[in-house]
Amino acid sequence: MRSDDTIFAMASGHGRAAVCLIRISGPESRLILERMAGRVPEARRAVVRTLRDPASGEPLDQALVLWMPGPQSFTGEDQAELHIHGGLATRTAVLRALGSLENCRPAEAGEFTRRAFLNGRMDLSQVEGLADVIDAETEAQRRQAMLQLGGRLGNAAERWRETILQVLALLEASLDFSDEGDVPEDLEDNILRMIDEVQGEVDRALANRSGERLREGLTVVLAGPPNAGKSTLLNALAQRDVAIVSPIAGTTRDVIEVHCDLGGLPVVIVDTAGLRESADLIEQEGVSRARARAQDADLVLWLVPPEGVNSAPPPARRLLKVGTKADLNRSRHDCDLLVAAATGAGLPDLIGRLEAEASSLMGQGDAVITRERHRNALEKAQGCLGRAHAMLASRGPLELAAEEVRLAARAIGEITGRVDVEDVLDRLFSSFCIGK
């Protein structure tokens, strides 16, 4: 993959469409535009042109054409856009014409974004935000992805890194200028205060799991004794027939997941096997999976049928007791909520409750981390800063403290992709495969 090639790709999806967008980026963009569309239009002004095959001069399509010279383009390079008609033959003809030009080749997956990153048009956390914008399925996910793309986390990480680099500069100056290797006391106070400040902010970011939850979806597990009506409730919440329902106790054995959009928040609802002692090996496996999922869930709905339940609810972070089959017996007072999934009674209340739970768990913050990668980098930085702080406070060796501070800056730099991110890049960019 040569980065001085000119690349092109469809930016819109495959399949028949009214319009198809083809992007071109690289040093030959201007020449390509001239050869296919004639005179190059004014920068960033859309004009209608006849696109022609550069070899034969044959007209291929009427297109809207844009010229976007670097460095103010998405990739930072010279770019052109062709908005052509979206029919299969038109697309094929234009793409074939582009491919026949010298030094011009189809882009690899994510290559436009990779160039934008390499040319400093966006940092790595923003690239992740862009991937999330493209993948966002609910309104709240879209909003979060937009904030990430706008640099909410990246800016905070850069601020932390700058403070840490200032600390490092102060430590290195002390190393150079003091014979005893001691830091003057007021300077030391200053350094410790700066470290405290960063640690406090990073701690707050780490404590807030809402960003990761919002990206992945809140998990709600339906648990209860066999025949409680779990699968019927799943089908009602999903508004389709996902799980088998029957009067036979022990119908569900596998874990069944459905992704829902509740008030703009992504929620994964999980139906599980009824909890009971069983001699059946398959059912035993189902029950142990049910318990495991309940333990990891953000919320467990413990479903209790009118006849009651003998066993205790499974261990869970958070649990709501929901009385089922309310159409058969409405006089139950020991439940948080009553539903009759068969008739739909009580469902709006339950959905309202789930939305409230989801939005309270997905509150916003200043520097919201959205991926495990961010969490790992910040935890690493926190460890280094903690050790540096302890060494300085106990007047340990300055060189070692400085080394820890340097490592902390590196760890934070991973968030914006300033250091050590090749493997992350490869994985991330391969996700920008539009429509393939």
Ligand X SMILES: Nc1nc2c(ncn2[C@@H]2O[C@H](COP(=O)(O)OP(=O)(O)OP(=O)(O)O)[C@@H](O)[C@H]2O)c(=O)[nH]1
For residues 325 and 371, which CB has a smaller minimum distance to Mg ion in the complex?
325
Binding of ligand X by 328 (CB under 6 A): yes
Please select the residue that binds ligand X; options are 64, 175, 187, 342, rule is CB under 6 A: 342
DSSP string of 31-57, one letter each residue: HHHHHHHSSPPSTT--EEEEEE-TTT-
Cα gap 77→90, rounded to integer Å: 27
Binding of Mg ion by 251 (CB under 5 A): yes
**Residue whose C-alpha is closest to residue 370's, from 150, 114, 125:** 125
Please select the residue that binds ligand X; options are 316, 341, 362, 391, rule is CB under 6 A: 341
The three-state secondary structure class of 10 is strand
CB neighbour list of residue 92: distance below 8 Å, 6 or more residues apart: none
For residues 273 and 405, which CB has a smaller minimum distance to ligand X in the complex?
273
Which of Mg ion, ligand X, none does residue 229 bind to, with CB < 5 to 8 Å depending on kind?
Answer: ligand X
**Residue whose C-alpha is closest to residue 218's, from 165, 266, 157, 182:** 266
For residues 249 and 356, which CB has a smaller minimum distance to Mg ion in the complex?
249
Please select the residue that binds ligand X; options are 274, 314, 323, 413, rule is CB under 6 A: 274
How many residues in the shown chain lie near ligand X by CB under 6 A? 24
The three-state secondary structure class of 339 is coil
Tokens of 351: 């959905």
Which of ligand X, Mg ion, none does residue 75 bind to, with CB < 5 to 8 Å depending on kind?
Answer: none
- Do residues 201 and 385 touch, judged by C-beta distance below 8 A? no
Cα gap 11→112, rounded to integer Å: 10
Binding of Mg ion by 252 (CB under 5 A): yes
Rounded to the nearest whole angstrom, what is the least distance from the CB of residue 276 to ligand X in the complex? 8
What residues from 157 to 196 belong to the interface with ligand X (CB under 6 A)?
none
- Do residues 145 and 136 touch, judged by C-beta distance below 8 A? yes
Per-residue contact flags (x/-) with Mg ion for residues 282 to 301, judged by CB under 5 A:
--------------------
Cα gap 365→17, rounded to integer Å: 40
Tell me, what DSSP letter sits at residue 345? B
Please select the residue that binds ligand X; options are 23, 121, 325, 371, rule is CB under 6 A: 325
Cis peptide before 71 (omega within 30 of 0): yes
Per-residue contact flags (x/-) with ligand X for residues 60 to 99, judged by CB under 6 A:
----------------------------------------
CB neighbour list of residue 414: distance below 8 Å, 6 or more residues apart: 124, 373, 377, 420, 421, 424
Please select the residue that binds Mg ion; options are 144, 148, 231, 235, rule is CB under 5 A: 231
Please select the residue that binds ligand X; options are 25, 126, 252, 370, rule is CB under 6 A: 252
What residues from 212 to 251 belong to the interface with ligand X (CB under 6 A)?
224, 226-232, 245-247, 249-251
Rounded to the nearest whole angstrom, what is the least distance from the CB of residue 318 to ligand X in the complex? 21
Rounded to the nearest whole angstrom, what is the least distance from the CB of residue 230 to ligand X in the complex? 4
Binding of Mg ion by 342 (CB under 5 A): no
For residues 144 and 235, which CB has a smaller minimum distance to Mg ion in the complex?
235
Cα gap 46→63, rounded to integer Å: 10
Question: Which CA distances in Å does 81 have to 41, 114, 120, 134, 223?
Answer: 11, 18, 21, 20, 53
Cα gap 177→11, rounded to integer Å: 57
Rounded to the nearest whole angstrom, what is the least distance from the CB of residue 358 to ligand X in the complex? 23
For residues 144 and 231, which CB has a smaller minimum distance to ligand X in the complex?
231
For residues 217 and 274, which CB has a smaller minimum distance to ligand X in the complex?
274
Residues that bind Mg ion (CB under 5 A): 230-231, 251-252
Residues that bind ligand X (CB under 6 A): 224, 226-232, 245-247, 249-252, 273-274, 324-325, 327-328, 340-342
